[in-house]
Amino acid sequence: MKTRTFSGYTLGLLAAAILTTSVNANPLTRDNGSPVGENQHSQTAGSNGPTLLQDVQLIQKLQRFDRERIPERVVHARGTGAHGEFIASTDISELTMAKVFTPGQKTPVFVRFSSVVHGTHSPETLRDPRGFATKFYTADGNWDLVGNNFPTFFIRDAIKFPDMVHAMKPDPRTNLGNDARRFDFFSHLPEATRTLTLLYSNEGTPQSYRHMDGNSVHAYKFVNAKGETSYVKFRWKTLQGQKNLDPDEAAKIQGLDFSHMTNDLVGAIDRGEYPKWDLYIQTLKPGQMAALDYDPLDPTKVWPDVPERKVGQMVLNRNVDNFYQETEQVTLAPSNLVPGIEPSEDRLLQGRLFSYADTQMYRVGANAMSLPVNRPKVSVNNGNQDGALNAAHTVGSINYEPSRTQPRPATESARYSRLPLSGTTQQQAIMRTQNFKQAGELYRSYDTKNRRDLVNSFGQSLAGSDDESKHIILSFLYKADAEYGKRVCKAAGGDLNRVKRLAAQLKD
């Protein structure tokens, strides 16, 4: 048998041939599809001359690199997402005609979890509310349920939203965090007391996205086939159990894992440990609203005495293929509604209907809804046209309505429900504020350890505030629960007698 030998030069040629064959099987191209001949060295004028502007591969790589980022979300910038499905389990057709709730109906979903205040690359251990936003790709179009892990929010009117976010973001002068600015703002908002309690409790530092609940925060409206309305709140209950980090655990993890919540979710799905949540609803008839001692459309309130009803289950079973194309470019907005689900008159929700859709259009563009992660599973048929990056293939000459040659009739059953109105326009606070009662109930619901962690976390953060803001905030806590106020007052270095005097002047 004849043995073949190869010189080093021959082996080099053979390796190059194999490499060339491999590359040619899936050639590198520019964005126009043209093959790239050289991607390691720029074209120059001779061996020592300047780089040539005619090197279109170099120019395109730099141009695209310069444009790799769209504007960061002002809030909810740091997040992660996953795909899954929702299966409806209960017939609630007496409440809503939304097809997503047809028993047995399987609806694809995309969920984006996030922190709220902190930036894109912030540690996930930082104390913050967490976003829990779900896009349902329903048979009636996309429905976005955009909520948080907390069931309540800090404010009740959208006109305060930019100010609240500015106060919670870093100091614009130094770009450093400053709790004093936060408490200066919230000292004017007693309605924030319950949600501040949640924030400074261990619920402000969840162990993972899998181990937290989600809430609509707002009440929405269900509309049935008869046009009858009910008010509804939604809640996702984790089947993994709620788990949070105490301050020591959060500090330890922050030193070990910058992205512990994202790593946990991605890892669990990769292992086949698919997280699940049951969806529950609470409903009120319009005639029941006035009997409550608080305003049920106030997003700073929960509905403690309204029974819950399970309506389905969600499982997340697939990680994204590309973080940017899906998680970053997904455009979730509470204005994405379907027949059978409408907004309530909640003042904060009313502002979010505009703000969220507008910010997504600013971030991603007028044609963001045509991206795969945002595109409805049903056909889209309207006169919207043009705009940047319009990838649609529109045929026909009718881009208006009505038209005899190409009718596009409205769907009668999708008409908005009717709302009786009375009175005059106004700009004033709601009537039933009840700012402190539910905050006290929340404090008393915590066990000894969780109360201690809450007191220490709140007190340490509040201690550096200006003297007046600190004592006003302490008076809110004392009004909610005397023990709560006393303990945080001690932790923050406050004057208890002064706190008591301020609290005596407050009305619940």
Q: Check if the beta carbon of residue 195 is closer than 8 Å to that of residue 209.
A: no
Residue 134 lies in a domain: yes
**339: alpha, beta or left, given left = phi > 0 and alpha = psi -120 to 50?**
beta
Please enumerate in sequence order all residues whose Cβ is within 8 A of that of 111, keeping only pairs 6 or more positions apart, or say none.
81, 82, 84, 132, 133, 134, 135, 314, 316
Any domain includes 408 = no
Asked whether residue 88 falls in the same domain as residue 55, the answer is: no
Strand, coil or helix: what is 15? helix
* Structural contact between residues 202 and 245, judged by C-beta atoms closer than 8 angstroms: yes
**What CATH number did the domain enclosing 58 receive?**
4.10.91.20
Which tokens go with 333? 């907005």
Render pLDDT for 90-109 as a digit per residue (tens, 0 to 9): 999 999 999 999 999 999 99
Locate the DSSP E strands across 106-167.
106-115, 130-138, 141-148
pLDDT (tens digit, 9 = 90+) per residue, 143-197? 999 999 999 999 999 999 999 999 999 999 999 999 999 999 999 999 999 999 9
Residue 289 DSSP label: G
**Counting Cβ atoms within 10 Å, is residue 182 exposed (0-12), middle (13-18) or buried (19+)?**
buried
Among residues of the chain, what percentage have pLDDT more than 70?
95
C-alpha dihedral sign at 246, 185, 500, 492: positive
Identify the band that residue 389 occupies on the pLDDT scale cut at 50, 70 and 90.
Answer: confident
Are 112 and 134 within one domain?
yes
Is 56 in a helix, a strand, or coil? Answer: helix
Partnered with residue 314 across adjacent β-strands are: 86, 277
pLDDT band at 408 (very low <50, low <70, confident <90, very high): confident
Where would I find the H helices in 29-121? 56-66
Same domain, yes or no: 110 and 214: yes
Q: Are residues 84 and 50 in the same domain?
A: no
Domain residues for the domain of 44 are 8-66
Give the list of residues 6+ apart from residue 463 with CB closer than 8 angstroms, or none. Answer: 470, 491, 492, 493
217 and 349 share a domain?
yes
Asked whether residue 93 is domain-assigned, the answer is: yes
Question: Residue 11's pLDDT band (boundaries 50, 70, 90)?
Answer: very low
Question: Does residue 366 fall inside a structural domain?
Answer: yes
**pLDDT tens string 273-321:** 999 999 999 999 999 999 999 999 999 999 999 999 999 999 999 999 9
Q: Which amino acid is at 192?
A: A
The CATH number assigned to the domain holding 245 equals 2.40.180.10
Q: Is residue 52 part of a domain?
A: yes
Q: Indicate the pTM of the whole model.
A: 0.91
Tens of pLDDT, residue by residue over 416-446, are: 898 888 888 888 999 999 999 999 999 999 9
Same domain, 93 and 56: no
> Is 192 within the bounds of a domain?
no
Over range 215-225, report the average pLDDT: 97
> Is residue 242 a contact partner of residue 284, using CB atoms and an 8 Å limit?
no
pLDDT at 19 over 60: no
Check pLDDT > 70 for residue 472: yes
State the chain's maximal CA–CA distance in angstroms: 105
In the predicted model, what is the mean pLDDT of the chain?
Answer: 92
d(CA 342, CA 286): 14
Active site residue 218: no
- The arithmetic mean of pLDDT across residues 58-86, rounded, is 93
Burial class (CB within 10 angstroms; exposed 0-12, middle 13-18, buried 19+) of 126? middle
Residue 180 lies in a domain: no
Same domain, 44 and 131: no
Catalytic residue among 76, 118, 260, 471: 76
Residue from 342, 354, 95 nearest 220 by CA = 342
DSSP-derived letter for residue 255 is T
Among 83, 118, 148, 471, the active-site one is 148
In a domain, 427, yes or no: no
CA distance 196 to 198: 5
Residues 213 and 316 placed together within one structural domain of the fold: yes
pLDDT of residue 25: 64
Statement: residue 489 has pLDDT above 80: yes
Both 95 and 16 in one domain: the answer is: no
Q: Which of 376, 397, 419 is the last residue of a domain?
A: 376
Is 479 in contact with 503 (CB distance < 8 Å)?
Answer: yes
Do residue 60 and residue 85 come from a single domain? no
The residues, any chain, with a CB within 8 Å of residue 151's CB and separated by 6 or more, are 213, 215, 217, 233, 235, 302
- Residues 300-332 as b/e (b if ≥16 CB within 10 A, e otherwise) read bbbbeebeeeebbbbbbeebbeeeeebbbbbbb
For the cut 50, the answer to whether the pLDDT of residue 21 exceeds it is no
453 phi-psi bin (left φ>0, alpha ψ -120 to 50, beta other): alpha
Domain edge (last residue) among 376, 394, 416:
376
d(CA 205, CA 460): 16
Residues 266, 295: one domain?
A: yes
Same domain membership, residue 344 and residue 289: yes
Residues 300, 155 contacting (CB under 8 angstroms): yes
Residue with the bigger pLDDT between 508 and 6: it is: 508
pLDDT tier for residue 410 given thresholds of 50, 70 and 90: confident
- For this structure, is 24 an active site residue? no
Q: Helix, strand or coil for residue 111?
A: strand
Give the domain-ending residue among 45, 66, 87: 66
pLDDT of residue 14: 47
Strands 130-138 and 141-148: antiparallel
Give the DSSP per-residue string, 336-376.
---TTEEE-S-HHHHHHHHHHHHHHHHHH-TTGGGSTTT--
> Whole-angstrom Cα distance, residue 504 to residue 475?
8
Total domains present in the chain: 3
Residue 13 clears pLDDT 80, i.e. is over it: no
